[in-house]
Chain A
Amino acid sequence: METEVKDQLVSIEKPQLIAPPNWEPVIMGILCNWCSYAGSDLTGTSRIQYPPNIRIIRVPCSSRVDPWFLIKSLQTTADGVLVSGCHPGDCHYISGNYYARRRFLVTKKLLNFVGFHEDRIQFSWVSAAEGPKFAKVVNKVTEDIKKLGPLHLYKKENFEK
């Protein structure tokens, strides 16, 4: 079973797989409470429009993000993951975002190694004041993932039934 899943995941990244019509990716956004989540709230209060593909999860700090969350997201529901924290030096918890950055780079390498395109998971710094930047980041991530195509064709179908 495990090898089967892995083969499927690797093969999915091959370009011949065609997305169904009207396919929209699902992106998991894991945001830190103090900067990026507040920034995404500001995007809302400023009524800046962005694609509706992102589903946001709130965590206290980007350093709370376990690589497991990224892997689980790609494995089950999401076609891409965005992790966002405070700008370097601005972490509400002093140094959490530095740990997050290192952990994220390693996770990215690992996922790349097992066959995921590197744009499947992305990292950004969005401060509580950067409403427009959050919209820009979501736009970019959504476009990137749309180009890469779906990760869960079979999964989605199972869901429909």
Chain B
Amino acid sequence: MARVGVFVCFCGANIADYVDVPQVVEEVKRIREVKFATEYKYMCSDPGQGMIRDAIVQHKLTSIVVAACSPRMHEKTFRKALSDAGMNPYLLEVANIREHSSWVHQKDKKAATSKAMDLCRMAVAKSIANEQLHEISVPVTKRALVIGGGIAGIQAALDIADARIPVVLVERSPSIGGKMAQLDETFPTLDCAQCILTPKMVDVASHPYIELIPYSEVIELQGFVGNYKVKIRKKASYVNFKTCTGCGACWQKCPVKVPNEYNMGIDKRKAIYTPFPQAVPNKPVIDAEHCTMLLKGKCGICAKVCEKGSIDYTMQDEIIEREIGAVVVATGYDMWDPAPYEEYGVGRFKDIITSLEFERMVSANGPTNGVPVRPSDGKVPKNVVFIKCVGSRDEAKGIEYCSKICCMYTTKHTILLHHKVHDSHAYVFYMDIRAAGKGYEEFVKKAQVDTGTTYLRGRVSKIYRKGDKLMVRGEDAQIGQVVEVEADLVVLATAVSAPKDNPELARMLGISYDKYGYLSEAHPKLRPVETAKAGIFLAGCTQAPKDIPETVSQASACAAKVCGLFAGDTMKKDPMVSTISNEYCSGCQNCVKVCPYGAIVTDEVPIGYGSKELRTVAKINEGVCQGCGSCVAICRSTAITLAGFTDPQIINEIVSI
């Protein structure tokens, strides 16, 4: 017969003030299987745990019930106490008499006590049906996948690879670098973004532990932590990267002109192109949507001028498969489209541009050689109005959240404007200046003094044309009046938004995302880089808007997590998983359908001992199983058992009150 030990905790006064603990102990002692019951002020303390260890040995206990706080709080602590006494840790049950009784029935001690008794009875009944469980060892494939080659993906890949763990870095566009490669200078130090980023890009390309797969997308992820299989679709580049030297003869001669994405469409690129001069890998790809050779079969100039014969118009998409153990998702962000701001004349007035367009203009390698110009007439603007929070913090038209980086980059833009056009004047319409960060407030203050920018606190209500100027009408809340500013150029600090493909990606990876499309972390404070799915981590803006230092920190944190995961040859896994009994399984395969992880497959077994005839049964991969129990409830023949939450355990709880 089972010999159960019950330990009731006072939790200082937290339980003892509202539950009559000695009475609970007396009541519990009346249960036949309970051979030992006691109380203590703090069960979780070292002496408390010592009592458990001693009692296990002294009273030859076969299972333990601790009536204390929530099992979500101290289950691990008490399991360890059991282990230390040489007992299987899964023979523990926790009765939650604090969160579920003493704290919520503070006005009725009698009822709280009687409920605590019931909770103890239930835990005792459950513990009688507890079985010894052992942690599962799962082998680990020590290779990481990084999705996205922006600064987050680059940093994560480099940090992981520096620990001598192979990394597969998948980037959707022809070059890594991401949004940071489009920036001119970075706040608050005005470092040239290219100067600090491109060495890292080169490191990625030359690192012996990094396999860079550009111009590719992840299309399928199967498996479980430590044992994922990923399918990557490598888009046809129509250029043989092995022989291409990157000389550039092809794109110089290509006759087809296409708006240049890297420069936000301000100038043109060719149909065969490298996104920007410092691209990594520095090999051109053919844009199949615009190449006349691929569309109509006419042209073929690039193939003619290529001395290496690297152009191959027959190239097809290729599926690459890799075995990996962990995933870092770093898909970055999109710039929010300001089209809903019709009163600003977005789309109607050419001289209204977004911040990233302005950034490209003032960039030394940009389409206008680093000088901002008016898109309408090419003149250098003198009066420039910056409007902040376009899309951000606007429930009506945009998104509720603060995009976090706009205050800082707008400040940077006022400085860059001042540097490039000395006699210019900047006006900034703002709601608040949020400059929380190391050196940020100082940066804003200094910029305001140095550039003489006019800051106007208020929202812009309308922009209209007057001659070749734009009139910006808004409120200056500090003087309580409507103001009008004559502008040559208006720059909208558009919001950061989640990549539009994130929901699709999240479904493919089996992780969750929030209402904006940002991928969800496992815990907002204490597990900010993990997802709820083991072995998948998040870096950068794909989780929420953040600036470069934060992105890099998070990427390095991801790398640390991946290295931790790969520290041993095997991984320990919670043993609370399902198992199927072949004897009972009828082979209906309902469980296969409901399993969210694809952990259940079918198997063939002989219909009887020594028989050659086979029948179908279901088989669970315990490495993949996460222990939800969907299969247990759907099984008609009760062939499936979920360790830790078996039918006898739960039914015992139900009938024991």
Whether both chains belong to one complex is answered with yes
| B510 contacts A94, C-beta separation under 8 Å | yes
Closest to B522 in A: A92
> Is A113 on the interface with B (CB-CB < 8 A)?
no
Interface residues in A52-69 by Cβ distance below 8 A to B read 52, 55-61, 63-69
Contact of A57 among B106, B122, B510 (CB under 8 A): B122
Closest to A46 in B: B103
| B654 contacts A76, C-beta separation under 8 Å | yes
B349 CB to closest chain A CB (Å) equals: 41
| A52 contacts B655, C-beta separation under 8 Å | no
| A43 contacts B99, C-beta separation under 8 Å | yes
| A61 contacts B650, C-beta separation under 8 Å | no
Interface segment, one of B217-225, B386-394, B419-427, B630-638: B630-638
A57 vs B122: C-alpha distance when bound (angstroms): 9
| B650 contacts A41, C-beta separation under 8 Å | no
Binding site for A on B (CB under 8 A): 70-73, 96, 98-101, 103-108, 111-112, 114-115, 118-119, 122, 510, 512, 532, 576, 594, 596-597, 626-630, 632-634, 642, 645, 647, 650-651, 653-657
| A60 contacts B106, C-beta separation under 8 Å | no
Closest to B100 in A: A56
- Going nearest first, the 7 A-B pairs with the smallest beta carbon separation are A44-B99, A64-B629, A93-B628, A52-B111, A94-B596, A63-B630, A44-B103
| A40 contacts B650, C-beta separation under 8 Å | no
The answer to whether A41 and B105 touch (CB under 8 A), given A26-B657, A55-B118, A66-B633, is no
Tell me how many residue pairs across A and B have CB atoms closer than 8 Å: 125
A119 CB to closest chain B CB (Å) equals: 19
A residues less than 8 Å from B651 (CB atoms):
68-69, 72
Closest to A66 in B: B633
| A65 contacts B633, C-beta separation under 8 Å | yes
| A38 contacts B72, C-beta separation under 8 Å | yes
- The main secondary structure of chain A at its interface with chain B is mixed
Interface segment, one of A1-9, A13-21, A95-103, A143-151: A95-103
A38 vs B189: C-alpha distance when bound (angstroms): 44
A residues less than 8 Å from B532 (CB atoms):
92
The answer to whether A41 and B72 touch (CB under 8 A), given A76-B655, A92-B532, A93-B596, is yes
B residues less than 8 Å from A49 (CB atoms):
104-107
A23 vs B478: C-alpha distance when bound (angstroms): 65
A23 CB to closest chain B CB (Å) equals: 13
The answer to whether A64 and B628 touch (CB under 8 A), given A55-B122, A96-B596, is yes
B586 CB to closest chain A CB (Å) equals: 17
> Is A45 on the interface with B (CB-CB < 8 A)?
yes
Closest to B627 in A: A60
| A60 contacts B96, C-beta separation under 8 Å | no
> Is A112 on the interface with B (CB-CB < 8 A)?
no
A-B contact pairs, 15 of them (CB 8 A): A41-B73, A41-B100, A44-B99, A44-B103, A49-B106, A49-B107, A50-B104, A52-B115, A56-B119, A61-B628, A72-B651, A76-B654, A93-B596, A93-B630, A135-B104
